[in-house]
Structure 1
Amino acid sequence: MRIAFLTAPEGVEQVELTEPWKAVSEAGHEPVLVCTKPGHVQAFNHLDKADTFPVDAVVGQVEAESFDGLVLPGGVANPDFLRMDEQAVSFTRSFFQQGRPVAAICHGPWTLIEADVVRGRVLTSWPSLQTDIRNAGGTWVDEQVRLDQGQNKLITSRKPDDLKAFTEAILTEFGS
C-alpha cells in the first residue's frame, strides 16, 4: 500500500508525522511525504523547531488515485496552512470522493472541515476544534481514537498521547 502523508512546508507536529510513518513503513507499506511545496518539511515539537524531512511529491502533481490512504498529521500551523491551499483541500476531498481511507490527528481535521467532508460524520480532534467540527455538520467526541465508517473509513485522534491507538487503527483499517 502507498500512504500519502500530507503536510505544509512547516508546522507539522513531528511525532504526529514520524510515529504513523514508522508504523506504516514497518508494516511493509510505502509512506509518501506529499507537501504543498517541493524541498523539505520543517517539523516542530510543539512550538520549537525540530527535524526536517525531504518532500517526496508535491500536491497538485499527484492524484489521490495513486495512494491507498491519506494521513493528516497535526500541529497547529500545519493544518491551518493546508486549509488555505486549494490544491491540498482538493487532494483531501478526492480521497473521500473515491472512498479511500483517511486518518487525521490533533488539528488535522481542520483540513477535513475545509474540504467539507465532516458533515454527518463522528470524529475526534484536539478539543479546541470541537466547535468547528460541529459547525461543519460533524459530531465531535472526546475519545482516544474514533473510527467513522461512512463512504470511506475516517480515523481521527486527539493528541500525541493517543498515537499508539491512532497508528494501530491506521494499520488495521487501511489494510482491511
Structure 2
Amino acid sequence: MAKDNLQGLNVAILVTDGFEQVELTEPRKALDEAGATTKLVSPKRDRVRAWYFTEWSVEFPVDVTLDQAKPEDFDALMLPGGVFNPDSLRIQPKAMAFAKAFFDAGKPVAAICHGPWTVIETGATRGRRMTSWPSLKTDLKNAGADWVDEEAVVDKGLVTSRKPDDIPAFNRETIKLFSGARGRRHAA
C-alpha cells in the first residue's frame, strides 16, 4: 500500500471506555501509516480506557469530545469493538446521531467485532451483507443484515470484521474503502 494512499483524509474513531485496545491501535496505526489523520471522538472528556482481552488496560487521550465533533469535519468513521464500548455508545443519542450522519452522507464506515452494535442503532444494517463477533449474529439478522462468517466483508460503504485475528484483512479492506472517500468530508 502506498504510504500516501489516504493523504488528506480525516477519520473519526468513535469510542468510549471499554473499547478493545488492539481493535483501535492496530487499525489506527494502519490508517495513520497510509496518510490519514485519525481523531479519537468520545462522549468522555480527556481520556478513554481500553480493555485488553480480559482486563482493563491503559488510557488514551480524547482528541475531540462528542459535543464538539462534527461529522462534516470527517471523511470516514471507524468503530472499534469491545463489549463495553459499543454497548455504551448505542444508548447515547449524540453518539448515534454522529455515527448515523456518516451513513446518511454516504461516507465510508468500518466496524470490527462488537462495533456493529453501533451500526444496528443507526438503522444502517438493513440490506447489508455483514460480519461481526459471532454473538451479534442474531442481532444483525434481526436488524435486517445478511450475516456471514468471513474475516472481512465490504458492502455499500461499510467494512465489517469478526475479531482481532481479522485485523490484517480489516485494515486492508478499510484502507481500500476509505481511499475513495476523499472529498466526502463536507457531504454531511
Query: Which of 132, 135, 142 in structure 1 is aligned with 2:139?
Result: 132
Distance 1:6 1:57 in 2: 10
Distance 1:45 1:114 in 2: 25
Distance 1:55 1:4 in 2: 11
Across the aligned residues of Structure 1 and Structure 2, the Cα RMSD in angstroms comes to: 0.7
Query: Which of 165, 168, 171 in structure 1 is aligned with 2:172?
Result: 168
| 1:59-117 deviation per Cα after TM superposition (whole angstroms, max 9, x unaligned) | 13211111010000000000000001111111110000000000000000001111111
Distance 1:60 1:98 in 2: 20
Q: Given residue 97 of structure 2, which amino acid in structure 1 is its aligned partner? A: S
Unaligned runs of 5+ in 2: 1-8, 181-188
Q: Give 1:47 deviation, angstroms.
A: 2.6
Q: The residue matched to 2:18 in structure 1 has which SS?
A: strand
Unaligned runs of 5+ in 1: none
Which residue number in structure 1 is paired with residue 11 of structure 2?
3
The answer to which structure has the higher strand fraction is 1
Distance 1:37 1:143 in 2: 33
Q: How many residues align?
A: 172
Which residue number in structure 2 is paired with residue 46 of structure 1?
53
Which residue number in structure 2 is paired with residue 120 of structure 1?
127
Query: Which of 72, 89, 95 in structure 2 is aligned with 1:88?
Result: 95
Residue correspondence of structure 1 range 144-163 to structure 2 within 5 A: 144-149=151-156, 153-163=157-167
Calculate the TM-score normalised by the size of structure 2. Answer: 0.90
Calculate the TM-score normalised by the size of structure 1. Answer: 0.96
List 4+ stretches of structure 1 deviating above 6 A: none
Distance 2:158 2:108 in 1: 6
Distance 2:132 2:167 in 1: 12
Which residue number in structure 2 is paired with residue 65 of structure 1?
72
Q: Percentage identity across aligned positions? A: 51
Asked if residue 32 in structure 1 is aligned to residue 32 in structure 2, the reply is no
Distance 2:68 2:124 in 1: 22
Q: The residue matched to 1:114 in structure 2 has which SS?
A: helix
Which residue number in structure 1 is paired with residue 185 of structure 2?
none
Distance 1:34 1:62 in 2: 7
Distance 1:62 1:40 in 2: 15
Distance 1:73 1:116 in 2: 18
| 1:29-75 deviation per Cα after TM superposition (whole angstroms, max 9, x unaligned) | 10000001211010011231112100001113211111010000000
